[in-house]
Structure 1
Amino acid sequence: MTEDERSQESDGSRERGIAAHIFTTSSVMVGLCLTIISVVRSFPKTGQLKTIVDDLIAVGAMVFLVACFLSYAVLRARHSRRMHRIESLADGVFLLGLTILAVACGLFVWTIL
């Protein structure tokens, strides 16, 4: 086995390791989003904000679900090129979900105060 082949093999295992982390974390984040929605709904006097924050967090949960599916596809991919493309997409989708969740939490906290 040449050094280049070993390097590609280690890159593939590293990509699968990152995908495994995205897979587990994004599935936990879906549950966290559902928990946050139930907490937001328990607050009185938030009116229109409640629906905006609920909607943002629900969208975030769907985005995390897509990241979970994409990272699962990386774990199942057999071709290196396809695996790298899907893994990059899973990374971006996961970061989008985190951004949506942070914006929703910021709206909730700064409006309640």
Structure 2
Amino acid sequence: MTEDRPQETDRCQERDIAAHIFTTSSVMVGLCLTIISVVRSLPKPGQIQTAVDDLIAIGAMVFLLACFLSYAVLRSRHLRRMHRVESLADGVFLLGLTILAVACAMFVWTIL
């Protein structure tokens, strides 16, 4: 009986983290689309602007993948599978944040 409780606690924590990744990554997809529309509305689109919006579009796809993976964690019934998929969703989400940060840095440094 005491062995079931730590597993239940782990399962609740995993679902809690997955829920945060799910909501945040879906918001980040919308943010990426907004940034792309702002970058494309600037006058004189240059080479760097198309590189930035391409990079942000890749970031949006990465965030969408993190959203799908976290949804899979929320739907999963197996604890071991939940741990693996949740770790993958974490990594994919951090990759998306890194891509977005690099794209923003490229955009800012070319404007200056």
Do both proteins adopt the same fold according to a TM-score greater than 0.5, normalized to the shorter chain? yes
Deviation of the 1:46 alpha carbon: 4.4
Q: Which runs of 5+ in 1 are unaligned?
A: none
Query: Which deviates the most, 101-110 or 35-44?
Result: 35-44
1:95 aligns with 2:94: yes
Deviation of the 1:43 alpha carbon: 1.6
Q: What are the residue-to-residue correspondences of 1:1-113 with 2, within 5 Å?
A: 1-2=1-2, 4-113=3-112
TM-score by length of 2: 0.97
Contact 1:46 1:112 in 2 (8 A): no
* Aligned-pair Cα RMSD in Å: 0.8
- Separation in 2, partners of 1:42, 1:110: 18
- Separation in 1, partners of 2:105, 2:42: 15
Q: Which runs of 4+ in 1 moved over 2 A?
A: none
Query: Which deviates the most, 4-13 or 30-39?
Result: 4-13
Aligned residue-pair number = 112
Q: Which runs of 5+ in 2 are unaligned?
A: none
Deviation of the 1:45 alpha carbon: 3.3
Percent identical among aligned pairs is 82
TM-score by length of 1: 0.96
Q: Which amino acid aligns with 2:54?
A: D
SS in 2 for 1:44: coil
SS in 1 for 2:100: helix
Deviation of the 1:6 alpha carbon: 1.0
Query: Which deviates the most, 78-87 or 46-55?
Result: 46-55
